């Protein structure tokens, strides 16, 4: 564990950063770029709280992103931790970053959310650390409160707690007081100051409208305007510095806001804009002259070696945490848990039970054959639809959490999908068993009890549900709005049903190349299994008369599917291969980094 007396120094030297200011999109080429940071220097020691102050667009978030190695664009300069270059891997291992928006898994309590945060600690040490963080952040009284019921102040402190459980040596926060009332903002800054002094963690936070009551809790301040540094240093020295250059803070004024206004461009008129811009350029130039840039780091402790308190948790341990988090959310006592269990277990059986209102007492004549053919269409459509609805209801929160956790390097998309599928697939199998019991009497008479036929039905329902689920997960990788992803998946599956199921139109009506293309769809094999169950797994009860035509199952299936005698073994293997193969494909795709335009889409 990091000792309180450990000395860490975070330094930034002569940071210049250029980034795109208007997105060019994935297909429109690069957008316009701008220099957003201009020669920024800062130093933060262990146990200190440093505030980055500036108006909107001054470069506060860009500076935090550069330090955390999350920034897109070109960067020049040095970021050092104890004199050693702060790489992305080192930042992920030893530092933390709290953004304005933090997603929590609904259904979990505050204590569970902290406990399931992946760290190298386990057992008693992990529990002790969680209790300590709850106490330090004044969250002990809401430890058993579900995260969806937290107010904004409690949620902000929980987001900070998730990082503190990992015991960082430096903690970055992007406007932690944004949206908080004055009392909550004061409480949060005071808690951060106490935490810094108690644990030795250095804290670097950005503020847009600081109040005077937080001034005593700040050890250092950095004023930014349009990427340039107006002042960087201790808060006590700040008053002396500005007084020395002719800008003393009036009595009873908030020094933070006074000098922030001094460092802000006045856009109320053209004359004021020009005047304030010239004044700020002069202040930036003067501070740059009076604090020359040092080529060497300020701290040479340990010859550039950074002592590591903890290592990075392994993939297996992270998977276990994700899996337990999924289970805890699923079985939570509340609306979230009830909704999750309903979607995972009962949605498919209840949807298929609707068929009992339309498909009872179906005969074996030609009319009955077409009626059962329509029932197969409904079974496929409902199975696909339930898979889509379940996924767009449950997976987006995990996709959003993954997009926020990706910069921290805690786990890969593959690890997330393995954990998600480890919970989802067993539930879908149980749901498919219940649904098969519901549909089986409609396709076959109850007296024809056949375990093999029931297994065929189970495979058809389960693989259809899982395929729709995995296809939706694939679209949600690049589509942010779940409803849009559902529309795209529905379109693909409707096309598949229309061409390959033999229920909307017969194979004889398709061009030869379309008939061959249906072999590359899951629908062809699942529909073939359902047709085999409905038409070839029992003796038909039909007596031909002048008004009743009794078609032969082989002729009917040859017309609808192009196969007079389907091979159920191939259909079972192909149905499962499509579902499992798509799940494996998603795990592979989620390994690769997404383009910047996709990352920006999921960035709040």
Using an 8 Å Cβ cutoff, are 172 and 60 in contact?
no
Q: How many Cβ atoms are within 10 Å of 18's Cβ, its own excluded?
A: 18
- Dihedrals phi, psi of 27, to nearest 5 degrees: -120, 5
CA distance 228 to 279: 12
Six token digits for residue 199? 């644990």
Six token digits for residue 261? 């206004």
Using an 8 Å Cβ cutoff, are 262 and 54 in contact?
no
CA distance 191 to 49: 11
Report the 3 state secondary structure along 465-517: HHHHHHHHHHHHCCCCCHHHHHHHHHHHHHHHHHHHCCCCCCHHHCCHHHHHH
pLDDT of residue 3: 40
Return the closest-CA partner of residue 49 out of 220, 190, 260: 220
Return the closest-CA partner of residue 52 out of 91, 22, 92, 10: 10
pLDDT of residue 530: 86
pLDDT of residue 536: 63
pLDDT of residue 599: 67
CA distance 304 to 85: 8
Residue in the structure block whose two tokens are 């050890």: 219
DSSP string, 562-575: S-SS--HHHHHHHH
How are beta strands 49-53 and 202-207 bridged, if at all? parallel
Six token digits for residue 83? 């004199």
Question: 84: helix, coil or strand?
Answer: strand
Report the 3 state secondary structure along 404-437: HHHHHCCCCHHHHHHHHHHHHHHHHHHHHHHHHH
pLDDT of residue 329: 92
pLDDT of residue 342: 95
Residue in the structure block whose two tokens are 């449950």: 394
**Average pLDDT for consecutive 10-residue bins of the chain (604 residues)?**
62 89 57 83 93 88 92 89 90 90 89 89 85 93 93 94 92 92 93 92 90 90 89 89 88 85 81 81 82 50 47 81 92 90 95 88 64 85 95 94 85 91 95 93 68 88 96 91 94 90 73 79 88 67 55 59 73 93 92 72 62
CA dihedral 594, 599, 602, 604 (to 10 degrees): 160
pLDDT of residue 544: 55
CA distance 187 to 153: 9
DSSP string, 350-380: HHHHGGGGTSSS--SSHHHHHHHHHHHHHHH
User: In a 10 Å sphere around its CB, with 0-12 CB exposed, 13-18 middle and 19+ buried, how is residue 361 labelled?
Assistant: exposed
Where in the chain are the domains? 9-15+35-290, 315-603
pLDDT of residue 572: 92
Using an 8 Å Cβ cutoff, are 297 and 238 in contact?
no
Distances in whole angstroms, Cα of residue 382 to Cα of each of 348, 379, 490: 8, 5, 11
Rg of the chain on CA atoms, in Å: 31
Question: 582: helix, coil or strand?
Answer: helix
Using an 8 Å Cβ cutoff, are 582 and 493 in contact?
no
pLDDT of residue 538: 53
pLDDT of residue 2: 46
User: In a 10 Å sphere around its CB, with 0-12 CB exposed, 13-18 middle and 19+ buried, how is residue 314 labelled?
Assistant: exposed
The CATH code of the domain at 9-15+35-290 is 3.40.50.300
């Amino acid at each position: 564990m990091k000792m309180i007396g450990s000395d860490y120094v975070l330094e930034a030297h002569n940071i210049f950063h250029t980034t795109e200011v208007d997105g060019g999109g994935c297909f429109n080429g690069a957008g316009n770029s701008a220099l957003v940071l201009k020669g920024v220097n800062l130093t933060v020691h262990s146990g200190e709280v440093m505030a980055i102050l500036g108006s909107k667009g001054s470069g506060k978030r860009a500076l935090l992103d550069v330090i955390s190695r999350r920034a897109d664009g070109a960067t020049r300069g040095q970021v050092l931790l104890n004199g050693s270059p702060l790489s992305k891997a080192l930042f992920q291992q030893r530092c933390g970053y709290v953004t304005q928006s933090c997603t929590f898994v609904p259904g979990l309590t505050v204590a569970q959310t902290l406990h399931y945060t992946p760290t190298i600690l386990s057992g008693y040490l992990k529990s002790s650390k969680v209790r300590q963080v709850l106490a330090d952040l004044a969250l002990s009284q809401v430890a058993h409160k579900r995260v969806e019921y937290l107010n904004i102040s409690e949620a902000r402190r929980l987001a900070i707690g998730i990082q503190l459980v990992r015991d960082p040596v430096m903690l970055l926060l992007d406007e932690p007081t944004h949206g908080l009332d004055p009392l909550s903002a004061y409480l949060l800054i005071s808690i951060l100051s106490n935490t810094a002094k108690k644990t030795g963690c250095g804290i670097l936070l950005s503020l847009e409208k600081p109040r005077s009551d937080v001034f005593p809790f700040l050890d250092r301040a950095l004023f930014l305007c349009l990427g340039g540094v107006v002042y960087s240093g201790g808060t006590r020295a700040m008053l002396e510095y500005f007084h020395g250059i002719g800008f003393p803070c009036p009595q009873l004024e908030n020094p933070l806001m006074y000098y922030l206004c001094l460092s802000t461009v006045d856009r109320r008129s053209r004359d004021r804009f020009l005047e304030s811009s010239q004044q700020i350029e002069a202040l930036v130039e003067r501070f740059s002259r009076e604090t020359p840039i040092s080529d060497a780091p300020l701290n040479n402790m340990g010859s550039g070696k950074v002592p590591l308190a903890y290592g990075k948790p392994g993939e297996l341990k992270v998977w276990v945490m994700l899996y337990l988090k999924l289970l805890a959310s699923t079985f939570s006592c509340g609306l979230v848990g009830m909704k999750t269990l309903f979607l995972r277990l009962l949605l498919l059986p209840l949807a298929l039970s609707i068929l009992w209102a339309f498909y009872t007492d179906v005969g074996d004549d030609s009319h009955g054959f077409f009626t059962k053919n329509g029932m197969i269409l409904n079974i496929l459509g409902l199975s696909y639809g339930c898979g889509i609805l379940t996924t767009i209801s449950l997976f987006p929160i995990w996709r959003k959490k993954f997009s926020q956790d990706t910069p921290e390097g805690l786990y890969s998309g593959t690890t997330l999908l393995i954990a998600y599928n480890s919970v989802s697939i067993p539930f879908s199998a149980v749901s498919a068993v219940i649904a098969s019991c519901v549909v089986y009497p409609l396709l076959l008479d109850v007296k024809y009890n056949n375990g093999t036929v029931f297994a065929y039905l189970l495979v058809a329902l389960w693989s259809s549900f899982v395929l729709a689920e995995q296809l939706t997960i694939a679209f949600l990788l690049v589509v942010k709005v779940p409803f849009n992803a559902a529309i795209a998946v529905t379109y693909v599956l409707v096309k598949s049903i229309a061409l390959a199921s033999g229920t909307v139109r017969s194979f004889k009506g398709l061009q030869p190349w379309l008939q061959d293309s249906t072999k590359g769809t899951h629908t062809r094999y699942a529909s073939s299994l359902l047709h085999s169950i409905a038409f070839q797994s029992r003796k038909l009860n039909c007596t031909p008369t002048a008004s009743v035509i009794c078609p032969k199952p082989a002729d009917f299936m040859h017309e609808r599917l192009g196969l007079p005698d389907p091979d159920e073994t191939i259909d079972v293997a192909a149905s499962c291969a499509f579902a499992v193969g798509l799940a494996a494909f998603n795990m592979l795709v989620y390994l690769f980094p997404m383009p910047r335009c996709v990352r920006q889409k999921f960035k709040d």
